[in-house]
Amino acid sequence: MPQHRHVRLGGIDMHIAEQGEGPLVLLLHGFPESWYSWRHQIDALAAAGHHVVAPDQRGYGTTDRPDGVDQYSIFHLVGDVVALIRELGEEQAVVVGHDWGAVVAWHTALLRPEIVRGVVGISVPPQPRGPLPPLTVTKQRFGEGFYQNYFQEPGVAEAGLGADIRATLRLAYSAVRNPEPTEGFLGMFAEPETLPAWLTEEDLAVFVEQFTASGFTGGLNWYRNLDRDWELTAPWQDAPITPPSLYISGEKDVVRTFYAMDDAARAIVPNLRGIVDVPQCGHWTQQERPEAVTDALLEFLRGL
């Protein structure tokens, strides 16, 4: 069982779940999730001889939630990872991320390759920096109602997502596609008849408790920095992500429809060790198919 504590990282207190001894492996969650999304991997990776640490990232769980939107830029998120590695007494770590956590993992490897022994992105592949701001691109491709654009106005998405937190998370995690989607995030989903097989009522209750305490603003503020992050990362235009890398994706993950592991993505990860397509798996990869994800991670770690 993981142990829980808070660590001080510069300006914030961060909650971490940790287990095991050995080389450091960080597990970074996505939206809307928490450290608990890695509950199936922590034991196995620790048993294989690793010091496994799964934080609640900035704005989530019982980690601090700074007020300013600009406190959630990619520099702040990568800075938290760098500070966490240092606070844990290490000089390097393998950084694994799912969804938004994958974005942070890829950027940590891009911006600070000397501290990344290896990087694993789950669901979201490495993304070359494009010629236009991301929110311009999503508006052009998917319309003003695309969820990432809908998230931009402070207070609007919070009201929708926070009205019934259990219903919000049940819709998001069940991920039953709405045949006639409406604007925003929840409009993408239809009401599920039951919870998905990978999610118990007890699991859902943990997430509901966490988001009842934290709210959604912290996580939404990550999206509100998408264009700012694009501006900040201009100096790394066309720069490669050089540490050993792995990409894992569910074959049914909707993210594949708007972020592709295509030739352009592959070109910026010259040390790509593999691509793992997980069959019969949607977006919540490490929760839906924990054995497949854990096996892929262990094989990657053994090869480092």
Amino acid identity at 81: V
Angle CA 199–97–58, to nearest 5: 90
Q: What is the largest CA-CA distance in the chain?
A: 51
Q: Nearest Cα to 169, choosing from 104, 216, 124, 122? A: 216
99 included as an active-site residue: yes
Buried b (16+ CB within 10 A) or exposed e, 261-285: beeebeebbeebeeebebeebbbbb
6 included as an active-site residue: no
**Annotated catalytic residue within 64, 99, 229, 253:** 99
d(CA 215, CA 210): 8
CB 57 within 8 A of CB 104: yes
Q: Which two tokens stand for residue 37?
A: 């999304």
CB 221 within 8 A of CB 69: yes
Which are the catalytic amino acids? 99, 283
